[in-house]
Structure 1
Amino acid sequence: MSKRILILDDNQDILDIVHETLSYENFDVKSISVGDEVMPMMLEFAPALVILDYRVAGVNGGELCKQIKCHPDYKDIPVIIFSAYINHDDELFGYGCDAIINKPFDLTELVEKVNGLIS
């Protein structure tokens, strides 16, 4: 059974590229574009890793990461935050994420970080 990855990004182009790349790497991928869907999807999809865009409408990816890391059932699930805000790594790590990928990003870097966190 392939490992599951949940991706949140409100940019459909990025969602499509990341979804396709990780699916090609034999991960079971679920892509969503609305932050409010993350916590219900955690229960339904049971991902092995979560990738969150930092800036999405409604709640930001950092706050969602904090919710995941504070939840007793999800606290050990690795979280990667996508961010276009370079030089804010300390602030982003403050939310409890396991890795940060700065946008624009290289797909090889994405696959390496994902594999490093859930292999």
Structure 2
Amino acid sequence: MLKRILVLDDNQSILDMVEEALSYEKFQVLITSDSNNLIEIAKIFQPDLFILDDRLVGHKTDGICNQIKWHPKFGNTPVMLCSYYYHLGADFSAIPCDDIIAKPFGLEELVNKVNHLILD
């Protein structure tokens, strides 16, 4: 069975690129920009990994990440943040994510981090 990855971002170009790259690597990928219904979407899709943009219009990613990590069904599911601000030294220590990838990122780096989180 293919590993499932749920990707949340408000940039359609990034969603399309991540979906194409991870689908090529034989992952089942669901992309969305709907942060309001992420848990409901996840209940149906049953992801093995969440990839979240750290800056969503109108939402705080730490709240979304906390919803995932506190949810009884998804508490052990890895969460990776994507951030333009990571390489600028932004402090993400309060966000319960399992990994961070700095934007812009290379597809090889993305695939390596995904493999580390859900295949190792």
TM over 0.5: yes
Q: What CA distance in whole angstroms lies between the structure 1 residues aligned with 2:36 and 2:7?
A: 13
Would the aligned equivalents of 1:62 and 1:81 in 2 still touch at CA under 8 Å?
no
Matched, 1:34 2:34: yes
Residue 83 of structure 2: aligned partner: 83
Residue 114 of structure 2: aligned partner: 114
Would the aligned equivalents of 1:8 and 1:53 in 2 still touch at CA under 8 Å?
yes
Q: What CA distance in whole angstroms lies between the structure 2 residues aligned with 1:13 and 1:32?
A: 12
What is the Cα-based RMSD across aligned positions, in Å? Answer: 1.0
Residue 100 of structure 2: aligned partner: 100
Q: Percent identity?
A: 48
Could you tell me which runs of 5 or more consecutive residues in structure 1 were left unpaired when the two chains were aligned: none
- Alpha-carbon shift at residue 93 of structure 1 (Å): 3.5
Work out the number of aligned pairs and report it: 117
Q: Please state whether the residue corresponding to 2:56 is helix, strand or coil.
A: coil
CA shift digits 1:7-58 (9 cap, x unpaired) = 0011010000000000000000000012112111110100000000011122
Residue 19 of structure 2: aligned partner: 19
Residue 73 of structure 1: aligned partner: 73
AA of the residue aligned to 1:106: G
CA shift digits 1:46-85 (9 cap, x unpaired) = 0000000011122222221111011121110000000111
Matches within 5 A, 1:47-66: 47-66=47-66
- Alpha-carbon shift at residue 94 of structure 1 (Å): 1.9
Would the aligned equivalents of 1:35 and 1:58 in 2 still touch at CA under 8 Å?
no
Would the aligned equivalents of 1:4 and 1:46 in 2 still touch at CA under 8 Å?
yes
Would the aligned equivalents of 1:34 and 1:57 in 2 still touch at CA under 8 Å?
no
Instruction: Using structure 2 for the length normalisation, give the TM-score.
Output: 0.93
Q: Please state whether the residue corresponding to 1:92 is helix, strand or coil.
A: coil
Q: What CA distance in whole angstroms lies between the structure 2 residues aligned with 1:61 and 1:110?
A: 19
